[in-house]
Amino acid sequence: MPTLKHLPADTPAETIAAILDTDGALILDDVIPASQVAAVMAELNPYIEATPNGRDEFTGFSTTRTGALVARSPASRELVMHPAILAACDAYLLRSCDRYQLHLTQVIRIRPGQGRQVLHRDKLAWGGFLQGIEPQLNTIWAMTDFTEENGATQVVPGSPSWPEGRRAEPHEIGYAEMKAGSVLVYSGSVIHAGGENRTGADRIGINITYCLGWLRQEENQYLSCPPEIARTLDKKLQALLGYAMGSYALGYYTPPLAPGLGPEIAPPQVALGADAAGWGEDLRAAINERERAKAEGSQA
């Protein structure tokens, strides 16, 4: 059975990106302490308990999925914004976009008796149209220990480079076994799935995923975390949700006001109460810098 690489929380982001390119997944061990796991779970437990099981084989008839974590749980925001993960996103996703964004937040509770989920690639969320580009960096934070017996994520290391139709044999499937407080990091191209829970206790993971800023988000963050909540958040988190331009021209809006009363073109932050003056300068500077570096590279 293949094993996933286990690395410390302070692993350089470039190393994480390189392993995602080849293996498609890795585990960062002991990233957050037990007290932080407990704080997140204390906030989320009422929502988890009130969540019904899945409605089909894929979502799992003995699995619950609870979302809107940024709006519902301040402690979860620390996971969304974890510096080690954002550094890995910088290294892995900024190769193909000017800004990445939050794609999905979901507590996945695999309950006793839940069978194996069907193996899949997460980038299929976009319907199989994305070829030759890596659209995602994904995480599952272990809120309980993950073991093969309790439903640890099944992962097929090396599968990002497999041809579309190749299926994994049982001996090619590894398990993301890890302690609570550790995090599985995986790409949108690696074949994986939830595991079978043969124990009497829940396996709980928090799935937080990030994608290229020019793609549609799986969990609609503008509805899961609407402006009245988003305006109370840290600016970097607002931008990650999507309340920022995704590139020079992506994501502006026109406040639907009476003639002459508002700007015709405004960045999303204006909907959260920000002043539009100087907007987009950081993004324009980053784009200019990238184009300059590309031009220099092509001349070399």
Ligand X SMILES: O=C(O)CCC(=O)C(=O)O
Which of the ranges 11-19, 92-100, 191-199, 271-279 carries the binding residues for ligand X, by CB under 6 A? 191-199
Question: Where in 46-105 is the site for ligand X (CB under 6 A)?
Answer: none
Please identify which residue in the block is written with the tokens 């069907």.
Answer: 118
Which of the ranges 84-92, 158-166, 192-200, 242-250 carries the binding residues for ligand X, by CB under 6 A? 192-200
Of the two residues 147 and 269, which places its CB atom closer to ligand X in the complex?
A: 147
Nearest in space to 155 (alpha carbons), one of 31, 15, 2? 2
Q: Please, what's the largest Cα pairwise distance for the chain?
A: 66
Rule CB under 6 A: say whether 211 interacts with ligand X. Answer: no
Nearest in space to 138 (alpha carbons), one of 176, 180, 167? 176
Phi/psi for 154 (5° steps) reads -80, 135
Of the two residues 173 and 272, which places its CB atom closer to ligand X in the complex?
A: 173
**Structure-block tokens of residue 125:** 């969320």
**CA 79 → CA 32, 100, 208, 210, 229, distances in Å?**
9, 16, 8, 12, 18
> Rounded to an integer, what is the distance from CA 220 to the centroid of its chain?
13
Rule CB under 6 A: say whether 24 interacts with ligand X. Answer: no
Which of the ranges 12-20, 188-196, 237-245, 275-283 carries the binding residues for ligand X, by CB under 6 A? 188-196
Rule CB under 6 A: say whether 205 interacts with ligand X. Answer: yes
Taken in order 248, 253, 259, 260, is the CA torsion positive or negative? Answer: negative
Of the two residues 82 and 111, which places its CB atom closer to ligand X in the complex?
A: 111
Of the two residues 155 and 245, which places its CB atom closer to ligand X in the complex?
A: 155
Residue span 140-159 as binding mask against ligand X, x where in contact by CB under 6 A, dash where not: x------------x------
Rule CB under 6 A: say whether 194 interacts with ligand X. Answer: yes
Q: How far apart are CA 7 and CA 28, in angstroms?
A: 5
Of the two residues 43 and 148, which places its CB atom closer to ligand X in the complex?
A: 148
Half-sphere exposure of 83 (CA within 13 A, CB side): 4
Which of the ranges 10-18, 189-197, 228-236, 254-262 carries the binding residues for ligand X, by CB under 6 A? 189-197
Rule CB under 6 A: say whether 108 interacts with ligand X. Answer: yes
Rule CB under 6 A: say whether 181 interacts with ligand X. Answer: no
Per-position b or e across 160-185, b if 16+ CB within 10 A of its CB: bebeeeeebeeebbbbbbbebbbbbb
Q: Count residues contacting ligand X (CB under 6 A)?
A: 8
The least CB distance from residue 82 to ligand X, in Å, is 19
The amino acid occupying position 145 is D
With CB atoms as reference, the residue minimizing the distance to ligand X is 153
Rule CB under 6 A: say whether 193 interacts with ligand X. Answer: yes
Beta strands 154-155; 25-29: pairing state: unpaired
Of the two residues 13 and 193, which places its CB atom closer to ligand X in the complex?
A: 193
The least CB distance from residue 59 to ligand X, in Å, is 7
Residue 80 belongs to what H/E stretch? helix 74-80
Where does this chain bind ligand X (CB under 6 A)?
Answer: 108, 117, 140, 153, 192-194, 205
